[in-house]
Amino acid sequence: MNMVMGVIGYPIKHSLSPEMHRSAYKNLHIDYAYHAFEVSPANLKNAIDGVRGLGLKGLNVTIPHKVEVMAHLDEIDDLAVEIGAVNTIVNVDGKLKGYNTDGEGYLKSLKEYVNKDIRNLNTLIIGAGGAARAVALTLTKDGVNNLVITNRTLSKAEDLAERCAKFSEATVQTIKDIETNLQDFDIIINTTSIGMSPNIDEMPIKLDNLKEGTFVSDLIYTPFKTKLLIEAENKGGKVLNGLDMFVYQGALAFEKWTGLQAPTDIMRSTVLNHLKGVK
Ligand code: NAP
């Protein structure tokens, strides 16, 4: 059976999802197609109606549509409702269901990297935007129970902590307090866009008080190592970028559409080669 999937965003031309998914289809010798569709906000409803009309199997959804797309779907998974955003749509017999695989993709990459039970580790999330909501809610749902959230706009961190309370208690601290208490944390996760290309000289927090051996993770993967990760590594931190999160969020979508296990090694090396400029 020939199936068509894709990604919608605005703009979309820099997305690495088409290459990543096509490499998986090729590796498994399946005749599926994946396209990037540039959809303006004004055309979002038409695009989603088109998924039903044309019988596409599913879509990934990226900026700026992750929240607004929810109004056009038939059903939304519980975790995506909590997060308030959808990044994956699955078409089952004309009914469109929305999921959010960002948080689960991140959690899988973090667990693999830390390689021990993370539930009782002291964990800090920097940021309170869309990616932070996905990560914080997925972590607390999974049992992480010592979560602290900090953000430039503290009211947003407070709102996110309240949402997390449904699963597990999360508290809020100012960035200034965090910088003083940094040695308290075992895991530090940057979910803000600070440090992303082209602003590669910026850092979301100062690391003067970082404890040796702390896991420092950044959702960003362009640059491959942000200034935060470079400084953390210099201070004896163990660092993880956002590449595996990207691969695993895509792999989870792949599995929902195809029912097959995603070849994540192939998907990762495809993205890596593109980041290095290798075709
Ligand atoms: P978002 O909803 O716009 O949230 C942005 C966050 O960054 C907010 O907490 C915001 O703080 C903070 N921020 C932005 N500029 C700042 C500045 N100059 N100073 C202080 N704080 C600042 O964005 P998002 O969708 O969550 O994405 C955040 C990052 O995650 C992006 O770099 C994105 O590429 C990355 N991401 C990666 C993956 C992956 O697969 N690896 C997936 C999703 C997202 P305020 O609340 O104070 O504005």
Peptide bond into 11 cis (omega under 30): yes
Please name the residue whose Cα sits nearest to atom 2 of ligand 1: 129
Q: How confident is the model at residue 276 (pLDDT cuts 50, 70, 90)?
A: confident
**Does pLDDT of 77 surpass 90?**
yes
CA of 266 from ligand 1 middle (Å) equals 28
The two counts, helices (H) then strands (E), for the chain are 10, 12
Q: Determine if ligand 1 sits within 6 Å of the CB of residue 58.
A: no
Rounded Cα distance between 63 and 91, Å, is 21
> With 0-12 CB in 10 A as exposed, 13-18 as middle and 19+ as buried, what is 234?
exposed
Q: What is the pLDDT of residue 278?
A: 61
Q: Determine if ligand 1 sits within 6 Å of the CB of residue 102.
A: yes
Task: Locate the ligand 1 atom nearest the alpha carbon of residue 128 and give its number.
Answer: 9
Task: Compute CA distances 119 → 128, 147, 168, whole Å.
Answer: 20, 10, 11
Q: Which residues are known catalytic residues? A: 66
Task: Locate the ligand 1 atom nearest the alpha carbon of residue 193 and give its number.
Answer: 32
Task: Locate the ligand 1 atom nearest the alpha carbon of residue 196 and give its number.
Answer: 32
Q: pLDDT tens digits for 199-217?
A: 999 999 999 999 999 999 9
Helix, coil or strand: residue 213: coil
Q: Determine if ligand 1 sits within 6 Å of the CB of residue 245.
A: yes
Whole-prediction pTM value? 0.96
Q: Determine if ligand 1 sits within 6 Å of the CB of residue 191.
A: yes
Quote the tokens at residue 57: 């199997």
**Does pLDDT of 279 surpass 80?**
no
Q: pLDDT tens digits for 23-62?
A: 999 999 999 999 999 999 999 999 999 999 999 999 999 9
